[in-house]
Amino acid sequence: MKKFTNYLLRGILTLLPLVLTIYPLYYFFSWTDRIAQNLLKPFIPMYEYIPGTGMALGIVTLFLLGLLMSSQFAQRIYSIIELPFRNIPIVNSLYNALKELANFLAPSDERAASKVVLVRFPGYEFDIIGFVMREDMDDMPAEIEKEGRCVVYIPMSYQVGGFTLFLPNDWLTPVDMPVDSAMKNTLTGWITREDGQHTPR
């Protein structure tokens, strides 16, 4: 019975990441597929469904959205649209957490985190991986000590969340590692090796 349960759990854990990745994409491209058909039928009465039309429309839509969001005007409009999501209780916690995660996954030139660091707290025999969010603290409130410090974000494993700390620079050791790779490993508790194999228990 134990073997059956282990194999069942392994099957679920194998399928779950695929389903959670593929289903949203399938739903999105199915939605854009229906939109593409509704847009083309009025102009082309003899139009017949062409597989992949929705996917092409979806990719073009995402590209145009990314292009649009590169302008300051569009960003101001977007900030107004997201105001309710940032202010409604419970909803704002989920939205802000997902927004933070999206920022970490953004291209390196748009990402807030500039580098990966190893945080060493004096008097403690452990290290924590953190992400330097900003080093220029001139605009911070006067109560925050700014000299020789920077803003470091420390994520928590297996959930979207973390802590933002104002730490002395001499507590930090730069780590030669891409931000997205370090974030992935931190969120999963470093259970997977860089070669893709799981670490032995």
Whole-number pLDDT of residue 198: 54
Query: Average pLDDT for consecutive 10-residue bins of the chain (201 residues)?
Result: 76 76 80 76 65 76 81 83 80 71 58 75 86 79 77 76 82 85 77 59 50
Whole-number pLDDT of residue 193: 65
Whole-number pLDDT of residue 104: 58
Q: Tell me if the pTM is above 0.75.
A: no
- Other CB atoms within a 10 A radius of the CB of residue 47 amount to 14
What sign results for the dihedral spanned by CA atoms 48, 43, 24, 196? positive
d(CA 151, CA 134) in angstroms, rounded, equals 5
The sheet that has 172-175: what strands, in order across it? Answer: 162-168, 149-155, 127-134, 115-120, 172-175
What are the backbone dihedrals phi and psi of residue 138, each rounded to the nearest 5 degrees, phi first? -60, -30
User: Which residues have CB under 8 Å from 191's CB, separation 6+?
Assistant: 198, 199
Whole-number pLDDT of residue 109: 52
d(CA 188, CA 109) in angstroms, rounded, equals 25
Half-sphere exposure of 172 (CA within 13 A, CB side): 24
Whole-number pLDDT of residue 162: 78
Q: Number of H helices and number of E strands within the chain? A: 6, 5
d(CA 98, CA 20) in angstroms, rounded, equals 15
- Other CB atoms within a 10 A radius of the CB of residue 129 amount to 17
* Amino acid sitting at position 1: M
